[in-house]
Amino acid sequence: MVESYSLIGPAKIRTLVIPIGKWKRAQFLEKLVLLRKRFEVRLVDVTPTEDATFNPQGFPQGRLMFDFETFLLEEDDMLFLHDFEPYRKTFVVIGLVAQGTLETDTLQELETRFPNAICHNLICFDEPSGLLAPNVFYHPQSSVETIICDIGRKFLEALSLYYSSYKHVTLRSPGAIGGSSILKLSLTRQPASVPAASALTRKISSMEQPNSSSIRRSASLKSLGLTNGYPDQQRAKARQRKILGNFQLLAGRYSDALTSFSEAATTLHKIHDHIWLGSALEGICISMLLLTYLQVTFHIPAIINILCPMRTESRSGSESNSRKSSFSKNAAESPRASISSMPPKMNSLESTDINLASLIRRISERILIHYEASLSHNIEFAPQLIYCEHILRILKFMTSCYNHESLDEIVLRRINADEFELDENEEKYHNQEGLFTKFEIYLHAQRLFELQLKLMDVVSQVKIYTTMALIYQRLKYYRKRSFILRILLVTTASHSESGALQDYCLNADRGLLKDVLDSYGVFRQPEISMKDASVCTWVTLQKSILSLCISIVKRLGDTEMVTELSLIFLQRFSHTITQMEQSQLLMKNIIPNFSKSEKWSYWDPFILRGLEITRLESNEEHLERRTIHTPSDDPSFKDVQVFNPFRQRLINGVTNPIDKAMDKPHEFRIGEGAQFEIVFQNPLKTDLKITHVSFTREDSKYVNFLDDLVQELPFVLGPNSIKTLHAPVSFKKNTELHTISEMDVGVFDLQPYSFRIAIDERFALASEGTDENGRANFGKFVFAVLPDEPKIEFVSSSLRESAFMILDGAKKTFEIKIHNKSLSCPAVFVDVGHITNVETGLKSDYWKKLLPDDLYEVENQLKELQNNCIRIIDKPHILEPNSTAVLQVELDTMGAPFTFKKFEILLDYSSKQTASDSRSFYSKTLKIPFDLTLKRTLEITGLDVVPLPETVEEQSDDIDFVNFFKRESEVGRVDASDYALLLLDLRNSWKDALEFQIGFENFLSSKTTLQTDHTCRTVIPIKKSLLNHKLLQREVPKLVANRQFVNPGISREQLEDIREKFWCREMLIQKLTCTWTVKGHANIHGKVDSRQFLPKVDSRTLDILCPSRKHTLEVKLVASETVVSSGTKVDVKALINSQRPRHTPDEIATFTFLIFDRRTGRLLPKSNSRVIYNGNLTRKVKLAKDSDTGLELLPLDRGEYEIGCSINSRVFNSIPVYIRVE
């Protein structure tokens, strides 16, 4: 629609291309595209003609440009313009002959059918036949370029004959030919009376008093020179010259055309023939533009210098400043300016000295002035169509180059090829200032709204409004574009009975309606494209426009497009209409036409919202799954899971995330029944009747619906509802893995179509390089159909109702009896495992927020539950058909937490005959659940660590830890100063008395009886050297590999503190033992798991058990005598132990002996009379290795003294030395 308004459109040869023979539409359009790519022919490639008028040798740089069309639009309505603008005529007709359809009279029939054309041609896509004529061409014998060149020569020969008929014909204006049937230019304002080159000039001129007498004098016939013969001859010659210029444009002789138009314009200006002068000026614009495109230098015609005086520009200068005052004050001079008044300099003005784009714009302003000046005459007036088309041509020219700084090669190429949209390389320069601003283009477009457009024929209105809409789109004036398109729709609706409009809308592939709908985004697909769904649109306006389009195509009788638009309406805008409107669209526009074409389908692509399975048999067994067993030494089958502490079994929710139900594979046997739950949705406000449901052809090979489904159909869904259809199925054929991703669904007794299973809505685009940017996340149903398999069932257990009570720390053994019901298939693979409620209750990401010590506790507990809590004894390896086996289960609650309340025995079995791969097979899982109640027995309710008292050996002999020290001291294996006391509070929570015994390394307490609900304290001696520095530096162990612990909220010091306290508690747990027996029931006994009772170690306890953990040195004092008489010498030695290799060989520290009065606790001064010494109390020692130093003391006064020491006043001796002087 826009191509006919190209500025160089009058230089293009209108060519009609029609199909001859049996063509498929796609094939014909492919050949048409092939021709359109070769629309331009160089005259140097065209064979010369005998007639010199249009001989291509006269201007070899020229071009023949063909405008290939497939229909004749307004051909008859434009006959009155053929004498005035002959380029409107269809000169060439090309028939594309399908293979095998060429006949001898084909060319003659073509000439008979299109007699007004002057050149008829045939292009045969076949081998040359007997018909050899000058106007018949064969492809691929000759290339398309050669054929177009030959057609161009035929056209030039025919054009010479056609032009000869104009030489002796009096050329009349359109008004003289059409008379009153021609729509005269109708302005809503007064016609311009003074020349103006631009809107800016009009504003400047409006400030002055205009002198319009020159235009008013043109109103009389006398002033026009129509009353004497000499002006008539001039007028006739000038018009002939102008027509010759039009033909020379068509023939590609642009230089000659410029001369012809210039001569015609000069004469027409003298005799005031305004309408022909305007057309001649337009021809000058086209000639100059084409010569610039060919890079041919030319002189600016003198008539242009008179009518549109301009400012010269430097040849080296850029045209980027052309918009700034591109005309001078002389632009406002009278159109009667004389040629003799032109300055000499302007006679030699060349094309390189001016801004051509600005000049064309100013010439256009002049053309419009002359068209408006012709309105005072009743015959020689400008039709409104010519006025509008010239405005549109200039608008398209300005729009094509407004974002470019000059008429460069890109702009000229786009203008010549009628390329209207910006390409990717130009889009980034869209907002830069160029030859014209967007506002200048908008002001020029406003001239169209000064006309009475509604008086024009409907096709012209449609073309004008559509062109304006696309221009506004190019300028990104979207609101103005929407306004124009709405006017276009209203205009179309009011003239929908027009035959011309029907041809235009329907025969042109419904171009008008589709362009309008596409402009408003009606053709966006939010139900398919995520990108379209995220675009904000004017829904109310789209609804209104779509309603108008449906009304138009209804009047045109196009039922196919009525159905298409109604489907779009119901699919994308159903939420904006009422229930009655939806019913009318369904019953009147859609359903009656569905049966006429197979291309229509149900409008909601998400009708199928879910597909699930329900087994018809007992749910005692797990659904079948595929199990893979590989040798442990095969590196290609390593477990790559992030968390898998249980090598025997993966636990949903603990070791791996739970998959979606739609993606889980299900296994069935041949002939097994199941029930499909198919979820449908109805987004409409009316009932939706589903009349057909079936599997696709491929899916039906393995599964099909039972006859009971027929009773459920038709299945009716209420308005705006989601409903589930329960359909029984049966599995037919063996398959290892099959996927159902779509089903065939039919509604309202219409033909069924396949629909995918839409699980939920997609809210984000997928990554680049993928095609998963649809509107929904689609699901699938994966299943396998297996042959007959063994079936093991649970028969009984030695427990009553599979439930029992057990004491904490005790053990219990019971039996389970199982039976293979199959009479033919043995279970050659049997594997027994278990799972507890503690494991299943954990989330898969439980470890992410736990500290290292807490995480170790949780995972150690899981490990105990999996490996030590439940043991299966006497596992069967093969279970023959119809045979029974007994399993013994041993339950040990030693490491079980009190949240342990239930567990399941899991029995995996298979016949190992269903998979082709020897390392894999299908298996079943039998679950046997048990409930238990774990009762508390002996609990540790408190823990404390205190230093060992000095008088421990003086205590009573009936205390366990006192006896331990006395017994060990006698044999010299223990030093009481190396020990501390661990205080444990024990409570009996069982209903009967308990007898317990506690041990810690070499210590073992005597058996103690504790009555029910009573608490007692037990004192246990423990070594202070329980922890060494190397152990404290070890990290908290990780039971699960390949997982990184990251907690940025914990400092390095805190991590070190956690590590030290963890290892202190671990040592206590490992060395502490406690057994108990129920008083009077020796067979009921157990152990206490101190891990679940002992709290975390505090800093005080850590300081007692490891006092020197934060120092790199340890100092120990030894005295030769601890009880002496006054005046007796005592030797004191200090042993320095460097515990960590952190000291350099040359590092030296200050060592100081300290002497205290034990009764007062005061430090004795260095010089005193109570204790004298030999040597210095302070000395230097090396720290690179272990060393010792000594001091001789001579106590004089009786009393008790404490000897200590320090290194650098930071490290002190761990155990003091006491000396009593008697």
Do 916 and 951 share a domain, yes or no? Answer: no
* pLDDT value of residue 772: 54
Task: Quote the percentage of the chain above a pLDDT of 90.
Answer: 24
Do 269 and 394 share a domain, yes or no? Answer: yes
Q: How far is CA 544 from CA 486, 490, 705, in A?
A: 9, 11, 45
Over residues 264-278, the mean pLDDT reads 93
Q: Supply the pTM of this predicted model.
A: 0.52
pLDDT in tens, 85-121: 999 999 999 999 988 777 878 888 999 999 999 999 9
- Residue keyed to tokens 């503690």: 838
Task: Determine the structural domain holding residue 141 and report its residue range.
Answer: 3-165
Q: Is residue 511 part of a domain?
A: no
CATH number of the domain enclosing 751: 2.60.40
Q: Please identify, among 895, 925, 955, the residue that sits at the C-terminal boundary of a domain.
A: 925
Lowest pLDDT segment from 144-158, 219-233, 841-855: 219-233
Q: How far is CA 895 from CA 863, 1067, 1073, 1089, in A?
A: 10, 17, 13, 6
Do 345 and 243 share a domain, yes or no? Answer: yes
Q: Is residue 478 part of a domain?
A: no
Q: Is residue 890 part of a domain?
A: yes
Q: Please identify, among 1046, 1075, 1105, the residue that sits at the C-terminal boundary of a domain.
A: 1105
Question: Does residue 636 surpass a pLDDT of 50?
Answer: no
Backbone angles phi, psi at 512, to 5 degrees: -60, -55
Lowest pLDDT segment from 237-241, 800-804, 1014-1018: 800-804
Over residues 405-416, the mean pLDDT reads 83
Q: Is residue 957 part of a domain?
A: yes
Do 808 and 917 share a domain, yes or no? Answer: yes
Question: Does residue 736 surpass a pLDDT of 50?
Answer: yes
Q: Please identify, among 451, 485, 514, the residue that sits at the C-terminal boundary of a domain.
A: 451
* pLDDT value of residue 81: 85
Q: Is residue 170 part of a domain?
A: no
Do 845 and 747 share a domain, yes or no? Answer: no
User: For 42, left (φ over 0), alpha (ψ -120 to 50), or beta?
Assistant: beta
Do 944 and 1046 share a domain, yes or no? Answer: yes
Question: Does residue 913 surpass a pLDDT of 80?
Answer: no
Radius of gyration of the chain (CA): 52
Over residues 845-870, the mean pLDDT reads 85
Query: 807 forms bridges with which residues in the sheet?
Result: 935
Do 1033 and 1134 share a domain, yes or no? Answer: no
Mean pLDDT of the chain: 79
Do 322 and 284 share a domain, yes or no? Answer: yes
- E strands present in 98-226: 119-124, 136-138
Largest CA distance in the chain: 165
Query: 943 forms bridges with which residues in the sheet?
Result: 984
Do 1182 and 1080 share a domain, yes or no? Answer: no
How many other C-beta atoms can be found within 10 angstroms of the C-beta atom of residue 1097? Answer: 20
Q: Is residue 565 part of a domain?
A: no
Q: What is the DSSP string of 853-874?
A: HHHHHHHHHHHHIIIIIEEEES
- As given in the structure block, the two tokens for residue 957 are 């002999």
Domain count, the chain: 6
Do 229 and 371 share a domain, yes or no? Answer: yes
Q: Is residue 70 part of a domain?
A: yes
Are 1134 and 975 spatial neighbours (Cβ–Cβ below 8 Å)? no
Lowest pLDDT segment from 91-95, 735-739, 1153-1157: 735-739
What does the buried/exposed string (b/e) look like for 241-280 if buried means 16 or more CB atoms within 10 Å of the residue's CB?
bbbbbbbbbbbbbbbbbbbbbbbbbbbbbbbbbbbbbbbb
pLDDT in tens, 937-982: 999 998 888 877 765 655 666 688 888 877 777 665 566 667 888 8
Q: Number of helices (H) and strands (E), helices first, in the chain? A: 33, 45
CATH number of the domain enclosing 1186: 2.60.40.10
Query: 644 forms bridges with which residues in the sheet?
Result: none
pLDDT in tens, 755-771: 888 888 776 665 544 44
Do 801 and 920 share a domain, yes or no? Answer: yes
pLDDT in tens, 698-726: 888 888 888 777 777 888 888 888 988 88
Do 957 and 1014 share a domain, yes or no? Answer: yes
Which range of 317-321, 1061-1065, 1100-1104, 1145-1149 scores highest in mean pLDDT? It is 1061-1065
Q: Is residue 643 part of a domain?
A: no
* pLDDT value of residue 343: 43
- As given in the structure block, the two tokens for residue 1122 are 């601890």
Question: Does residue 133 surpass a pLDDT of 80?
Answer: no
Are 406 and 395 spatial neighbours (Cβ–Cβ below 8 Å)? no
Q: How far is CA 1100 from the centre of its chain?
A: 58
Question: Does residue 1136 surpass a pLDDT of 80?
Answer: yes
pLDDT in tens, 428-464: 554 556 788 889 999 999 999 888 888 888 888 888 9
